[in-house]
């Protein structure tokens, strides 16, 4: 059950990254799905936190972050300010980075090259978002590519968490 929930958490986070891509690029679609995916992600986290008693004390950080997202969304805080694009991007990068870079979070991953690749992908994603917000040349292409790479790495990391390699 925990393997399914951790894969669901990482999978829904990958979809949230793609929804953020659609939102930042002002492409139509995914608006109707965005709220459902967010609640599925929150629900998977809540169920995981109930089934993983005492095993993962760091789970409070993403649950706190999701609470902030829900409160900001409900009360429309900062929706008319200029800095909100930076805040949303840094939050999205930080949230994805937490899942990709924190060692042994929600299970151990035995693929040796994955942490290095995750760090590179998160760095490029951060840079691409800043370039996109500042409307620099080639920012759209880099942002699209890095968003896809982060989503893929989330799926790969989530699917391989807790798997034991036979030697």
| Nearest-10 crossing angle of helices 60-75, 31-51 | 150
pLDDT at 56 > cutoff 90: no
Mean predicted confidence (pLDDT) in 94-104: 87
Q: Is residue 40 part of a domain?
A: yes
User: Is 90 exceeded by the pLDDT of residue 9?
Assistant: no
Q: What is the pLDDT of residue 111?
A: 81
DSSP 100-119: HHSTTTTS----TTHHHHHH
Classify residue 93: in a domain, yes or no: yes
pLDDT category of residue 151 using cuts at 50, 70 and 90: very high
Is the pLDDT at 121 greater than 90? The verdict is yes
* Residue 55 covered by a domain: yes
The three-class DSSP label of residue 167 is coil
For range 61-81, the mean pLDDT: 74
Closest CA to 14 of 108, 96, 91, 117: 96
Domain that holds residue 57: 2-160
- Contact between 96 and 125 (Cβ < 8 Å): yes
* pLDDT over 80 at 57, yes or no: no
Residue 47 has a pLDDT of 85
**Using 50, 70 and 90 to split pLDDT, how confident is the model at 165?**
low
Is residue 151 assigned to a domain?
yes
Q: Is residue 102 part of a domain?
A: yes
What's the whole-model pTM score? 0.83
Dist. CA 24–CA 89, nearest whole Å: 9
pLDDT recorded at residue 126 = 94
Q: Is the pLDDT of residue 49 over 70?
A: yes
**Is residue 7 assigned to a domain?**
yes
Instruction: Output the pLDDT for position 55.
Output: 65
Q: List the alpha helices (DSSP H) in 25-163.
A: 31-51, 60-75, 84-101, 114-133, 139-160
Is residue 165 one of the residues assigned to a domain?
Answer: no
Q: Is residue 167 part of a domain?
A: no
The pLDDT value recorded for residue 84 is: 77
Total domain count, the chain:
1
Distance CA 35, CA 29 (A): 12
Q: Residue 140, exposed/middle/buried by CB under 10 A (0-12, 13-18, 19+)?
A: middle
Mean pLDDT for 25-40 is 79
């Amino acid at each position: 059950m925990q393997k399914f929930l951790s894969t669901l958490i990482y999978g829904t986070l990958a979809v949230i990254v793609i929804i953020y891509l659609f939102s930042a690029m002002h492409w139509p679609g995914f608006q109707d799905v965005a709220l459902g995916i967010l609640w599925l992600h929150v629900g998977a986290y809540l169920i995981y936190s109930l089934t993983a008693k005492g095993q993962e004390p760091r789970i409070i950080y993403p649950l706190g972050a999701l609470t902030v997202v829900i409160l900001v969304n409900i009360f429309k805080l900062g929706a008319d300010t200029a800095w909100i694009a930076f805040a949303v991007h840094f939050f999205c990068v930080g949230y994805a980075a937490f899942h990709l870079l924190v060692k042994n979070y929600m299970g151990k991953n035995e693929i040796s090259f994955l942490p290095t690749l995750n760090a590179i992908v998160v760095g490029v994603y951060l840079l691409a978002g800043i370039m996109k917000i500042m409307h620099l040349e080639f920012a759209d292409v880099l942002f699209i590519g890095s968003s896809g790479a982060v989503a893929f790495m989330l799926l790969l990391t989530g699917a391989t968490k807790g798997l034991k390699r036979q030697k």
